[in-house]
Amino acid sequence: MWARLLLLFITDMKKRVAIVDDDAVVRQVHTALVQECGYSVVAEGASGIDAIEICRAGGIDLIILDIDMPGMGGLNAARKIVVETSTPILLVTGVCDHSVIKDAIEAGVTAYIIKPVRLEEIEPAIEFALFHALECKGLREQVGELKGELASRRVIEKAKGLLMEHNGIGEAEAFARIRKISMDKRKRMKEVAEAVIITLEKS
């Protein structure tokens, strides 16, 4: 899995980044640093609301979000972004405080960096955030596949039980019948099992 994720990461380095900070000068500095790292800055904002709207619109791979902004701050914006989208968040904070770090983790922030942001720090932070997000996506896909397999297995088990009950056959034969129909009809075993259930539950 790691090799596959690393290959995907390496072959698509031109990632799209959004930068949100209420200070226009800071945004310019961060933009220059991000571009120096080889990434594209495709959106900017000055508030937590801007950050949420940018992420809702999509088209970005990472958002760099300042924690301290008037109105809705970075942490509250991050909480909504995590719930509504899967956009990775690199949080920028002016203080290295344990409670702030704890709040950032609980908010679902992917990574954080301390101001003033420097090139030698922001590049690994961006790479970590992007790679971690890619890894999490892979894990979510695996979980989804496992859930699908479990649901299919439950349906097949129920169909087997009904075949055994209605036809007085053993488990192996019931399974073999479902598998044969699946092969003959070129349908998934779950689909065959669902048809068996509908038919036998009506009889």
Instruction: Choose one of 96, 113, 140: the last residue of a domain.
Output: 140
Q: Are 88 and 110 in contact (CB under 8 A)?
A: yes
Q: Which residues of the chain have a pLDDT value below 70?
A: 1-13, 132-146, 203
Smallest Cα–Cα separation from 157: which of 109, 197, 129? 197
194 shares a domain with 119: no
For position 159, what pLDDT does the model report?
Answer: 85
Q: What is the DSSP string of 180-197?
A: HHHHHHT--HHHHHHHHH
- Which residues lie below 8 Å from residue 172, measured CB to CB, with a gap of 6+? none
Say what the pLDDT of residue 190 is. Answer: 86
* pLDDT value at residue 137: 60
Question: What is the 8-class DSSP label of residue 201?
Answer: H
Tokens coding 181: 């129909």
Instruction: Output the pLDDT for position 9.
Output: 45
Which CATH number do you get for residue 171? Answer: 1.10.10.10
Contacts of 170 (CB under 8 A, 6+ apart): 164
Choose the final residue of a domain: 109, 140, 171. 140
If asked whether residues 124 and 156 sit together in one domain, one would say no
Confidence (pLDDT) at 144: 65
99 plus 162 within the same structural domain? no
Per-residue confidence (pLDDT) for residue 134, from 0 to 100: 67
Domain match, 60 and 135 both: yes
